[in-house]
Structure 1
Amino acid sequence: MAEIPDELVELERSAEEERAKLAGLGDEEREAQRKRWRDAADKFEAAVTKHAEATGRSRDDVRAAARKAVRNAEEDPAE
């Protein structure tokens, strides 16, 4: 699998960290945190698209490679 830029790995890590913060929140807090998670996830997806277009790789391949890099680097922040 081709190299994934550090920026993509960091953006995916950030999105996963925001997702992990959803656990145990009340309704109002959960909605605010969900927005932070979606914002982080949207930044990651935009970077995936940009990298895929620049390299000619599929978005799915780039996304999967970034997620794999995050999970191989550390444990799932949701656990």
Structure 2
Amino acid sequence: MADINIPDDLILLERSAWEQIQAGTLTVETAQAVQQRITEIAAETGQPRNDVEMQVKRIVRHPQADGS
């Protein structure tokens, strides 16, 4: 999987979704917003949508793996 430049707004959306998931309060609106933005970034970069989703989840859920 190639490194994809994930914009800050998508990271913030995913971070919000992840916090809601952990709290058991994830809303359909939040989930849809994340998925829509992932789809937009995939189209803009020409990368597979699944690759974009995996990378943003890795950044948010496992930041130590990226050295952040």
TM-score tier, shorter chain, comes to: 0.7 to 0.9
Gaps of 5+ in 1: 23-32, 75-79
TM-score (norm: length of structure 1): 0.69
Distance (Å, rounded) in 2 between the aligned partners of 1:70 and 1:13: 6
Give RMSD over aligned pairs: 1.5
Structure 2 residue 16 is matched with structure 1 residue 14: yes
Selected match of 1:41 from 12, 28, 31? 31
Q: Percent identity?
A: 32
Larger Rg belongs to: 1
Off by >3 Å, runs of 4+ in structure 1? none
Instruction: State the partner residue of 1:65.
Output: 55
Structure 2 residue 41 is matched with structure 1 residue 51: yes
TM-score (norm: length of structure 2): 0.79
Aligned-pair distance for 1:6? 0.8
Aligned length: 62
